[in-house]
Amino acid sequence: MKISEIYEHKKSLSFEIFPPKKDSELKNIDATLEVLCELKPDFISVTFGAGGSSNCNRTIELAKKIKFNYHVEPVVHLTCLSYNKAEIDEFSRVLKSEGIQNVLALRGDRNPDIPEKDDFKHASDLITYLKQNEDFCIAGACYPECHPESENRILEMKHLRTKVNAGAEVLLSQLFFDNDYFFRFVEDCRISGIEVPVIPGIMPVINAAQIKRMVTMCGASFPVRFQKIINKYENNKEALFDAGMSYALSQIIDLLANDIDGIHLYTMNNPTVAKRICEGIKNII
Ligand code: FAD
């Protein structure tokens, strides 16, 4: 099923997972998938490492498992900066032959260790190319607090509109900890004529190192009220877990109360986190 069809009827609940680093660990992911899939998400998206065919293979392997063993719709992330058209054609061929219909089309982060190729400069180039050649449902990434390379919000919106005009049918957002950024961002999208579903990405924080890494990596603002919680409980693992869960739940409930199109949970492959969040919203979503 194409994930764009979900939004004709309902809000979505979806998870992001990443492929294990080693082939041997791919077998152990079943315990995680069993719990995640019992929660009946509308789809599970699988991240894609920047460059290197082994990453790609593990993403596709995992997506196949999700689809055929657990009967949940997978969304395969696909980056383009370090690939040429022939390589993207080969990924597309494999995805099609496995019956995978949904792709999150991304540029990918710049990495000095991975050479960039010339065929695709932006995610919108990949989307245009995929749409010309294939019949995938395409999702794109979006950034409620602007992409770190962005010059300003106006240009960011212009580029996002290019991405949607190229064929992105759903937008999945970068994580954020302050819902006001997301609400303003959706408003900006609608003013700019972007009408596709914009799905907020929520990452429940369960340890202090994780949040420091996330804030550095993606530039998400760290509201004072959340900072106080982290400072207070960072040396008490159980308390921080409870506090992180409650904070994420309060974000999600506020988003749902404001009629957003769905929730995309960054699970970090932790089924306990996903289960706890789903229990907290089972009568709401
Ligand atoms: P783009 O849409 O190309 O945007 C990147 C920058 O270029 C932005 O500043 C944008 O404003 C600008 N831009 C866009 N179009 C133009 C244009 N025509 N002219 C000038 N400037 C332009 N990375 C991975 O490696 N693997 C993953 O699995 C992965 N999953 C992700 C999932 C989500 C939900 C999100 C939000 C991000 C994910 N990323 C992943 C990270 C992503 O690859 C990076 O954030 C990357 O730096 C940008 O990717 P993009 O697709 O948003 O790029």
Domain annotation covers residue 108: yes
For atom 32 of ligand 1, the residue with the nearest CA is 141
53-57, 154-158, 207-211: least confident range = 53-57
C-alpha 160 – ligand 1 centre gap (Å): 10
pLDDT in tens, 148-189: 999 999 999 999 999 999 999 999 999 999 999 999 999 999
The tally of domains found in the chain comes to 1
pLDDT of 199 strictly over 90: yes
Closest CA to 43 of 67, 60, 59, 21: 67
Confidence (pLDDT) at 218: 82
Task: Map residue 30 onto helix, strand or coil.
Answer: helix
C-alpha 61 – ligand 1 centre gap (Å): 24
Confidence (pLDDT) at 53: 53
Cα–Cα separations (whole angstroms), residue 66 to 71, 131, 194, 240 = 6, 24, 31, 31
Closest CA to 166 of 107, 196, 124: 124
pLDDT (mean) for 222-235: 91
Q: Tell me if 174 CB under 6 Å of ligand 1.
A: yes
Tokens linked to 116: 């960039």
Domain annotation covers residue 254: yes
Domain annotation covers residue 143: yes
Q: Tell me if 120 CB under 6 Å of ligand 1.
A: no
pLDDT band for position 216 (cuts 50, 70, 90): confident
pLDDT (mean) for 47-65: 81
Round to whole Å and give the CA distance between 36 and 200: 19
Q: Tell me if 79 CB under 6 Å of ligand 1.
A: yes
C-alpha 75 – ligand 1 centre gap (Å): 16
pLDDT band for position 200 (cuts 50, 70, 90): very high
Confidence (pLDDT) at 248: 97
Closest CA to 19 of 40, 47, 38: 47
Confidence (pLDDT) at 52: 55
pLDDT of 64 strictly over 90: yes
Domain annotation covers residue 256: yes
Q: Work out the mean pLDDT of the chain and round it to a whole number.
A: 94
Round to whole Å and give the CA distance between 207 and 244: 8
Domain annotation covers residue 1: no
Round to whole Å and give the CA distance between 137 and 109: 22
For atom 41 of ligand 1, the residue with the nearest CA is 108
Q: Which amino acid is at 232?
A: K
pLDDT (mean) for 71-92: 97
Domain containing residue 190:
6-281
pLDDT in tens, 83-121: 999 999 999 999 999 999 999 999 999 999 999 999 999
C-alpha 111 – ligand 1 centre gap (Å): 13
C-alpha 109 – ligand 1 centre gap (Å): 7
Cα–Cα separations (whole angstroms), residue 151 to 15, 116, 120, 155, 215 = 30, 22, 20, 7, 19
Q: Which of 121, 145, 147, 194 best tests ligand 1's pocket when mutated (most atoms within 8 Å of CB)?
A: 147
Q: Which of 48, 107, 142 best tests ligand 1's pocket when mutated (most atoms within 8 Å of CB)?
A: 107
Round to whole Å and give the CA distance between 159 and 101: 25
pLDDT band for position 28 (cuts 50, 70, 90): confident
Q: Tell me if 57 CB under 6 Å of ligand 1.
A: no
pLDDT of 285 strictly over 90: no
Domain annotation covers residue 209: yes
Neighbouring-strand partners of residue 79? 106
Active site residues: 16
pLDDT of 51 strictly over 80: no
Q: Tell me if 50 CB under 6 Å of ligand 1.
A: yes
For atom 47 of ligand 1, the residue with the nearest CA is 109
pLDDT of 82 strictly over 80: yes
Burial class (CB in 10 A: 0-12, 13-18, 19+), 4: middle
CATH of the domain at 145: 3.20.20.220
Radius of gyration of the chain (CA): 18
C-alpha 253 – ligand 1 centre gap (Å): 27
Neighbouring-strand partners of residue 73? 43
pLDDT band for position 219 (cuts 50, 70, 90): confident
Confidence (pLDDT) at 265: 98
Q: Tell me if 204 CB under 6 Å of ligand 1.
A: no
